[in-house]
Structure 1
Amino acid sequence: MTRAPQRLPSQFLGLALPLLLAACASPFHGYGVQPGTAREAVLARMGQPTRSVRLASGERLQYSLQPFGQYAWMVDLDPSGRVIRSRQVLNANDFDRIQPGWTRDDVEREFGPPAMVDRVASWNGPIMTYRWNDGSDMFYFVYLDGQNVVRRAHPGMEFHNAPDRD
């Protein structure tokens, strides 16, 4: 006995189509965006940015996968809307650029929004935390004072399902 092919429910197709279209424009396509690429082509390739930031030299499109992802691409555009450079910034070399005296705005301009902002009793100000990967799952902590000025910053390990220590 031959069975007729089963059809997918229309509800499934209604959900699948937007997901397929969203997969076409993705921040994961941030690698290899060439200098000179038009802003419209970047948006078609990567989708809407997490945030757009004005720069003295033009505009920065930020594509951040925070709070749960470990990557953030910065696509810098000149005043005519053409790519100057595109790079993934959540890495040790870029984090090393953070210096005491930077402001929260400086950090967010360079790295995008953090995964989280916390407070602890032993520090009198917010602590910005970025997730990233350096061969291991990592955090990068940026300690701000009460005026949102960076006072210190450092990496730390992110442990998943760490065993209890008895």
Structure 2
Amino acid sequence: MTLALRTAPAALLATALLAGCAGEPTRLAMGSSREQALRELGAPSAVYSLSGGGERLQYSRAPAGFEVNNVDLDASGHVVSVRQELDERLFDRTIQPRVGRWREADVLRTYGRPLEITQVSSFDGHIWTWRYKWQNTPRLLYIYFDPAGVVQRYHTGDDLMLELLAPL
């Protein structure tokens, strides 16, 4: 067997690993152009306009995944921020209940489409749910919207789905 044939599997593995790293939003260099970001990350799951003429490229792994990465571009189309939003340490600073300012559009722009939208008899409105991981433990984020679409509160809880699916 020639050296080229013996090293081909290793070269393919290295290429696959590098491609996987290139598609990770948190590895995107600050100052990259919009075109560079799209080339490295592919098409976003959503695009939102930001104040000041900027733009958000959202890369969501929902509904089955645990991450939503937002790549923010300034008005000139260069990366100024990359943040994984589904992080329990950020919820208190990001989610703005009871002030009447945070609406469905704000939540979508931050977290993307939810895993599910439900209702319960004890609350007049809808509850949106996202999956995330906290210290490698599957968790759920619940955001409560009143009938006018304004965030009223949020809470987190354990995601027991994987435990329910596991064999006994």
TM-score when scaled to structure 1?
Answer: 0.79
Asked if structure 1 preserves the Cα contact closer than 8 Å seen for 2:116 and 2:128, the reply is yes
Structure 1 moving runs of 4+ over 6 Å: none
* Aligned pairs (5 A) from 1:32-47: 32-47=27-42
Matched positions, count: 143
Q: 1:123-150 deviations in whole A, cap 9, x for unaligned?
A: 2111010110002100000000001111
* 2:122 aligned residue: 122
Gap regions ≥5 residues in structure 1? 1-19
Determine helix, strand or coil for the equivalent of 1:161: helix
| Alignment RMSD (CA, Å) | 2.3
Larger radius of gyration: 1
The alpha-carbon distance between structure 1 residues 137 and 109, as it changes in their structure 2 partners (threshold 3 A), is same
Determine helix, strand or coil for the equivalent of 1:154: strand
* 1:145 aligned residue: 146
* 2:96 aligned residue: 99
Gap regions ≥5 residues in structure 2? 1-14
Richer in helix (by share): 2
Asked if structure 2 preserves the Cα contact closer than 8 Å seen for 1:34 and 1:85, the reply is no
- The offset of 1:93, in angstroms, is 2.3
* 1:74 aligned residue: 70
Task: For 1:27 and 1:146, locate their aligned partners in 2 and report how far apart those are by CA, in whole Å.
Answer: 42
Asked if structure 2 preserves the Cα contact closer than 8 Å seen for 1:103 and 1:149, the reply is yes
* 1:90 aligned residue: 86
Task: For 2:36 and 2:134, locate their aligned partners in 1 and report how far apart those are by CA, in whole Å.
Answer: 30
TM-score when scaled to structure 2?
Answer: 0.78
Asked if structure 2 preserves the Cα contact closer than 8 Å seen for 1:25 and 1:46, the reply is no
